[in-house]
Structures are given as structure tokens and as C-alpha cells.
């Protein structure tokens, strides 16, 4: 097989890198189609087309449906984002896309569009790791901010990943721990499905947990002494608990639980996840003597997790940074931001670079 790249992007030197201004990025790693335009740190436009409705009835993502929808949404979204940003696309300095990890048939769509634009306009292409997009998102504070990436201990909690990372600087990461089975968001989604609640499960459980007693059900906090995470035992405990607490009569709730019992169960489940995430994050921050803790990914939208982690960090003297909720779930703004920082640091990608569904962060 021919090893030579089919196309190559224009060479970039460090001087040119510091002049790079406008990035157009696409995010299509899973079930959200995202396009964003960033000019330096100013976000000119960011659009996300959610596919929740298309996957909801299956209780999870169907890859074939996801890629068909990306194919339908991406060109329209591209058009809309470029108009909203009021830019001439030929003036974009670099095109970026998520190149992994994610669903192969979904990743291909965003990456192919970004590569096509880079080739067509003779501009730079950047392949961005989705997890790096999440990881750096707490530093994205908009046009007025110019904060550089500071050393921190970072927790990435999404539907596909749960990992704790020691960040020394841009592109200098050390894995502390990761889940050995389900991701935290996946546990939220699976338990919500068991309870007959909607998809995605995290926001549903959070909503039903409000006002509930988090101590009513004794659910496990697995592998607390390890750097790694495990959530499948917690999910199984809920499965075994359900038949014991379900009402015989048909009630108003989707899972035959009395409303108060459902609320307490959601609160107890949510608290079990929060306890595990908090304990490990604080322990890692202490071990690495971090001044700063960051949290990102869809699960970090959870208000109770944010509140409790904030309190725990304040008690220990750590600063906590979390992205705005709209930046926590999948979006292209975080991909554009990671691309901007990488370009400014002199990184670039070849358009021949392939997507990698299992792309590792470290």
C-alpha cells in the first residue's frame, strides 16, 4: 500500500502559527452534530444539532442512525454557522475536526468535511482529540479571557469516558485513572432506562432526584481506594433493588415506583456517583499537590456534582474550574478552542491523517 500522503497542508512555521486567527471546527464523534467558528478567543458562532429524539426510543445511540443524521445535518449547520459568524469562509485560517475517539462512521463525516474545506481553500487542517476538547474546555472563557493552560488535576466525565488526568500544560498529560467498565454518564443513562425515564439519563435522574433523600438506599461506592473507576456494580445494585421496592399496583411513575421512592432512589444513585467522583478527584489533587481542579464532559452539567465538588475543593484550598453547561456536552466550540491552542503552539495535522475510533488522550 502506498504510504505517501495523498495531500499535504501548507507548511506552517511558528511565526505563522501565532498569526492564526480564525478556526472553523466540526464535531461529529457521537450523536451531536456541531460546527463552530472561533476568532482568537472570540466565539463567533456555535451550532449544535441534537439527535436525541432520533435515538431516544432505542435508549442509546444507534451508530447507523447517527452517521446518517450527521450527513444530513452537517452541510446545513455549516451554512448556518458561517452566516451567523458573518465570515467569508475563504478567510478561515484553519479547519479542524474531531478525529477520535468516537463512532467511526460518525467521525468520518466531520473529518471529511474539514479536510475537504482545508484542501479546497488551501488552508491548514487540525485533527483534534475529543477528550482534549473536553479537557481544555474549562479554560475557554470567551473573548476577554487569555488565560493559558495551567497545571491541574482534571476529571473528564461523559457518556463514553470517565478519566482523571494530570495536566502539566497543553499536550502534556498523564493518565491518573479511568473507568474499568461503564462511564459515569453511561451509568446514568442505563439506570434511567431501567427506571423508564428518558434519554439522555443524566438530566432525567438529576431532575427526579431533586428534593430526594440521598441516604435512603445504600448503594455501593466501588473501588474507592483505586485511581480507576467502576460503575457497573452500582448499576447492577439498582437492577437488583428495583423488584424489591416496586409497588404491586400501577402507579403514576414510569417504573411502578411510588413518586417519593423514585425521587429517593434517583437521589441515592446520583449521590453514589458524586461520592466516587469527588473522593478520587480530591485524592488525586492532594497527591499531585495541584492548586487547580478542572471538570468537564456531559456529567459535569450536574448541578449537585458541581455544588459538592466546589465545596470540597474550597475546603481543601483548591481552585475549581468548570466550563459553562453548554460547553460541557458535546459541541464544536471546544474543538475549535483546542485547535486554536494547538495551532498557536505550532501543531498541525496532515489531511491524510485518519480518524481513530479508539484514539487515546495519553
Give the three-class secondary structure for 178: strand
What gap in Å lies between CA 79 and CA 81, rounded to an integer?
Answer: 6
Region of 18-26, 43-51, 140-148, 199-207 interacting with ligand KG4 (CB under 6 A): 199-207
Name the minimum Å distance from CB 175 to Zn ion: 17
Site residues for ligand KG4, 16-75, by CB under 6 A, read 30
Nearer to Zn ion, 199 or 217 (CB): 199
β-strand pairing of 152-157 with 124-129: unpaired
Residue 201 binding ligand KG4, by CB under 6 A: yes
Q: Provide the grid cell at 198.
A: 428518558
Residue 182 binding ligand KG4, by CB under 6 A: no
What gap in Å lies between CA 186 and CA 235, rounded to an integer?
Answer: 10
Residue 297 binding ligand KG4, by CB under 6 A: yes
C-beta of residue 38 within 8 angstroms of C-beta of residue 110:
no
Region of 4-12, 91-99, 293-301, 340-348 interacting with ligand KG4 (CB under 6 A): 293-301
Nearer to Zn ion, 31 or 330 (CB): 330
Region of 17-25, 64-72, 86-94, 200-208 interacting with ligand KG4 (CB under 6 A): 200-208
Nearer to Zn ion, 206 or 330 (CB): 330
What gap in Å lies between CA 21 and CA 1, rounded to an integer?
Answer: 37
Distances (CA, A) of 347 to 143, 270, 285: 22, 40, 29
Instruction: Using CB under 6 A, pick the residue from 20, 36, 299, 339 that binds ligand KG4.
Output: 299
Q: Inter-axis angle of helices 184-194 and 201-209, to 10 degrees?
A: 70
What gap in Å lies between CA 28 and CA 279, rounded to an integer?
Answer: 32
Region of 121-129, 197-205, 208-216, 254-262 interacting with ligand KG4 (CB under 6 A): 197-205
What gap in Å lies between CA 69 and CA 353, rounded to an integer?
Answer: 24
Number of H helices, E strands in the chain: 12, 10
Site residues for Zn ion, 154-183, by CB under 5 A, read 158
Query: Which has the closest alpha carbon to 85: 24, 41, 28?
Result: 24
Residue 359 binding ligand KG4, by CB under 6 A: no
Residue 202 binding ligand KG4, by CB under 6 A: yes
Which of ligand KG4, Zn ion, none is residue 206 near (CB under 5 to 8 Å by kind)? ligand KG4
What gap in Å lies between CA 38 and CA 85, rounded to an integer?
Answer: 9
Q: Which residues bind Zn ion (CB under 5 A)?
A: 158, 330
Q: Which residues bind ligand KG4 (CB under 6 A)?
A: 30, 158-160, 185, 188-189, 200-203, 206, 297-299, 301-302, 329-330
Amino acid at each position: 500500500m502506498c504510504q505517501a500522503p495523498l495531500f499535504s497542508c501548507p507548511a506552517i512555521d511558528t511565526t505563522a502559527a501565532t498569526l492564526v486567527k480564525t478556526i472553523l471546527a466540526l464535531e461529529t464523534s457521537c450523536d451531536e452534530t456541531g460546527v463552530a467558528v472561533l476568532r482568537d478567543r472570540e466565539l463567533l458562532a456555535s451550532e449544535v444539532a441534537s439527535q436525541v429524539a432520533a435515538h431516544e426510543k432505542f435508549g442509546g445511540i444507534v451508530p447507523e442512525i447517527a452517521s446518517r443524521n450527521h450527513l444530513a445535518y452537517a452541510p446545513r449547520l455549516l451554512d448556518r454557522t458561517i452566516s451567523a459568524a458573518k465570515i467569508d469562509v475563504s478567510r478561515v485560517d484553519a479547519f479542524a475536526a474531531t478525529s477520535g475517539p468516537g463512532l467511526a462512521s460518525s467521525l468520518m463525516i466531520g473529518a471529511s468535511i474539514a479536510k475537504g474545506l482545508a484542501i479546497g481553500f488551501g488552508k491548514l487542517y487540525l485533527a483534534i482529540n475529543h477528550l482534549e476538547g473536553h479537557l481544555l474546555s474549562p479554560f475557554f472563557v470567551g473573548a476577554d479571557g487569555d488565560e493559558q493552560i495551567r497545571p491541574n488535576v482534571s476529571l473528564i466525565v461523559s457518556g463514553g469516558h470517565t478519566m482523571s488526568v494530570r495536566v502539566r500544560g497543553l499536550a502534556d498529560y498523564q493518565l491518573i485513572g479511568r473507568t474499568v467498565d461503564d462511564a459515569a454518564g453511561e451509568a446514568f443513562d442505563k439506570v434511567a432506562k431501567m427506571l423508564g425515564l428518558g434519554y439522555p439519563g443524566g438530566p432525567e435522574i438529576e431532575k427526579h432526584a431533586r428534593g430526594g433523600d440521598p441516604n435512603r438506599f445504600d448503594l455501593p461506592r466501588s473501588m474507592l481506594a483505586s485511581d480507576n473507576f467502576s460503575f457497573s456494580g452500582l448499576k447492577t445494585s439498582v437492577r437488583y433493588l428495583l423488584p424489591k421496592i416496586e409497588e404491586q399496583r400501577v402507579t403514576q411513575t414510569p417504573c411502578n415506583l411510588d413518586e417519593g421512592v423514585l425521587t429517593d432512589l434517583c437521589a441515592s444513585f446520583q449521590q453514589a456517583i458524586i461520592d466516587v467522583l469527588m473522593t478520587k478527584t480530591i485524592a488525586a489533587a492532594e497527591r499531585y499537590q495541584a492548586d487547580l481542579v478542572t471538570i468537564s464532559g456531559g456529567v459535569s452539567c450536574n448541578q449537585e456534582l458541581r455544588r459538592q465538588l466546589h465545596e470540597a475543593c474550597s475546603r481543601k484550598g483548591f481552585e475549581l474550574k468548570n466550563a459553562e453547561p453548554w460547553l460541557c456536552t458535546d459541541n464544536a466550540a471546544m474543538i475549535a478552542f483546542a485547535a486554536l491552542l494547538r495551532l498557536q503552539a505550532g501543531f498541525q495535522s496532515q489531511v491524510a491523517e485518519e480518524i481513530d475510533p479508539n484514539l487515546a488522550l495519553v
